[in-house]
Amino acid sequence: QSALTQPPSASGSPGQSVTISCTGTSSDVGGYNYVSWYQQHPGKAPKLMIYEVSKRPSGVPDRFSGSKSGNTASLTVSGLQAEDEADYYCSSYAGSNNFGVFGTGTKVTVL
Amino acid sequence: QVQLQESGPGLVKPSETLSLTCAVSGYSISSGYYWGWIRQPPGKGLEWIGSIYHSGSTYYNPSLKSRVTISVDTSKNQFSLKLSSVTAADTAVYYCARFTMPQYYFDYWGQGTLVTVSS
């Protein structure tokens, strides 16, 4: 099972929006509405930001939103803030044989 | 508040078995949910290792399945990871996390523990 493809980096100025893509196949991202997104600051554990494509856990700001079209999922961070600078990983269920897979990760820089 | 804490040796010799335990507080493993292990080599991305239900049902990453064993001890409210025949490629930060199936997401994570494979 190959990792989902994410751009290595993305950036934006404070207050702007940044969108990160996560591309898989019809066997994972395209086949199920089970895409999740994680934020990871240096030296810290990942934090769940989005699950089931577009749902936000309690406590996650509504500046974070998720969507999916075909085999590509996206995470949008609106109104960028300095604390949003981190690595972001997507993940998707990939069926009962392969189970699940993470993305390659994207480093978001707030300019 | 659910909390998870990994423990185990930080240094393992090549060809030996890596053993880690994850202690859970604030939630009874017997109440439900799956519990899993994820690792992250230094400077690299995340890799799911495997998950276990309180009943003992397990799911493993096919690429690691031949070397991985995950077990649960509901009396101690903890679960464990064993990874055999380790090499330098198994050097990573190992995280334990609560896992929701089949939606496949991890909502509570431990802080992680670095395991180095070296002689």
Task: Give the model's pLDDT for residue A18.
Answer: 97
Counting runs of H as helices and runs of E as strands, what totals does chain B give?
Answer: 0, 11
B:20-39 residues touching chain A, CB 8 A cutoff: 38
pLDDT confidence of residue B113: 98
User: Which of A2-16, A44-58, A89-103, B92-106 shows the lowest mean pLDDT across its residues?
Assistant: A89-103
A46 vs B47, B100, B109: nearest CB: B109
pLDDT score at A98? 64
Count of beta carbons in the 10 Å neighbourhood of residue A35: 31
Query: Mean pLDDT in chain A?
Result: 95
Taking CA atoms, A15 is separated from A20, A82, A107, B29, B37, in Å, by 16, 10, 18, 42, 36
pLDDT tens-place string over residues B72-89: 999 999 999 999 999 999
Q: Among A44, A47, A102, whose Cβ lies nearest the Cβ of B48?
A: A102
- Taking phi over 0 as left and psi of -120 to 50 as alpha, with beta for the rest, A98 belongs to alpha
Between CA A39 and CA A75 the distance in angstroms is 11
Q: What is the mean pLDDT of chain B?
A: 95
Interface contacts A/B by beta carbons within 8 Å: 63
* Candidates A44, A52, A102; nearest CB to B46: A102
Q: Summarize the confidence of residues A17-41 as an average pLDDT.
A: 96
